[in-house]
Structure 1
Amino acid sequence: MNISNNSYVEIHYALYDESNEVVDGSRGGEPLPYIQGKGNIIPGLEQALAGRAEGEKFTVTIEPAQGYGERDVEKVSIIDRESFAGFDSIEVGMLCQIEAENGEPQLVTLIAIDEEEVTIDANHPFAGQTLNFEVEVMTVREATEAELRDGIVG
């Protein structure tokens, strides 16, 4: 069976940065499950997987527009250091979940810290980067009605 919309798919992947270092991946753990055509993974990777079959291995380079998007300077802001009073410690590079203006949880990276302020970046850590994937398709089958209705429950 080839991957098409509404297929349940499991992949192993390695994501390499521009200096050929692995920055993310599933090897050594469970494969990543997703349902094709539901937007569960970045668009460029979903497009590269369309039509593939179980057992296929391939590499693909994905530009930012089809990955995590371009970096948006509007997503960088400065907040009061007091906002982090509940944390044992904070450091540059740390990922934190904060409450966005709309009340929803938002993942941010701390990019600068001084005595009074913390600069946060709400861009995805891979925003603006060209992504190089090494992928192996482990499983392809039709998604169940429950998976299509509820998504993949892990």
Structure 2
Amino acid sequence: MTTIVQQSAVTLHFTIKLQDGSVADSTYNMGKPAKFVMGDGSLSENFEQCLLGLKVGDQKTVELQAKDAFGAPNPDNVHHMDRAKFVGDAEVEIGTVMAFSGPDGVEIPGIITEIAGDSVTVDFNHPLAGQDVTFEVEILSVE
């Protein structure tokens, strides 16, 4: 039975819960598990450490402080943009998540947090930044 080590390709289901017990994200809801390679940067290093040694069929609950999960909100990740840049059918309203092209061409999600006249404030921090979270994982495959 293969256990998770660095560079393992892991397929798992996860649920992320907030302090109040509400579900912030879950692969069960989407009906599709997540797949990633240990060390590829898609998970925080601290979270990966919690997965090392698990094997197929294992279920684990991991509580992470904000700094070990999605980090603290970074004020440099909040940008003010000209409303004219928002064209097309997309409704510009508070709470809308939109994809923006980052400097390296990779799309990054931003949440519209404020609209004042022609200025739109977009927060590129992870929606769970600054929050302590609980991950519940179920390991489906390890390669």
Q: Which TM-score band applies after superposition, normalised by the shorter structure?
A: 0.7 to 0.9
**Aligned partners of 1:8 and 1:89: how far apart in 2?**
38
Which amino acid letter does the alignment assign opposite residue 79 of structure 1? Answer: M
Q: 2:39 aligns with which of 32, 37, 40?
A: 37
Residue segments in structure 1 that go unaligned for 5+ positions in a row: 142-154
Which amino acid letter does the alignment assign opposite residue 30 of structure 1? Answer: K
CA-atom RMSD in angstroms? 1.7
Q: 2:98 aligns with which of 90, 96, 99?
A: 96
Structure showing greater radius of gyration is 1
**Aligned partners of 2:24 and 2:123: how far apart in 1?**
19
TM-score by length of 1: 0.82
Number of residue pairs aligned between Structure 1 and Structure 2: 140
Residue segments in structure 2 that go unaligned for 5+ positions in a row: none
TM-score by length of 2: 0.87
SS in 2 for 1:44: helix
**CA 58–106 in structure 1, closer or farther in 2 if over 3 Å, else same:** closer
SS in 2 for 1:27: helix
SS in 2 for 1:129: coil
Tell me the equivalent position of 1:83. 85
Deviation per residue, 1:54-75 (Å, 9 max, x gap): 1111100112222221101121
SS in 2 for 1:109: strand
**CA 85–8 in structure 1, closer or farther in 2 if over 3 Å, else same:** closer
Tell me the equivalent position of 1:111. 113
Deviation per residue, 1:87-135 (Å, 9 max, x gap): 44211111112244x3634321100113321111111111111121111
**Aligned partners of 2:79 and 2:142: how far apart in 1?**
42
Which amino acid letter does the alignment assign opposite residue 139 of structure 1? Answer: S
Structure 1 contact 54–139 (Cα < 8 Å) conserved: yes
Query: Taking every aligned residue pair, what percent have the same amino acid on both sides?
Result: 29
Which amino acid letter does the alignment assign opposite residue 82 of structure 2? Answer: D
**Aligned partners of 2:88 and 2:25: how far apart in 1?**
29
**Aligned partners of 1:118 and 1:23: how far apart in 2?**
25
Tell me the equivalent position of 1:67. 69
The structural deviation recorded for 1:42 is 2.4
Tell me the equivalent position of 2:125. 123
**Aligned partners of 2:45 and 2:13: how far apart in 1?**
17
User: Structure 1 segments of 4 or more deviating over 4 A?
Assistant: none
**CA 58–88 in structure 1, closer or farther in 2 if over 3 Å, else same:** closer
Structure 1 contact 4–37 (Cα < 8 Å) conserved: no
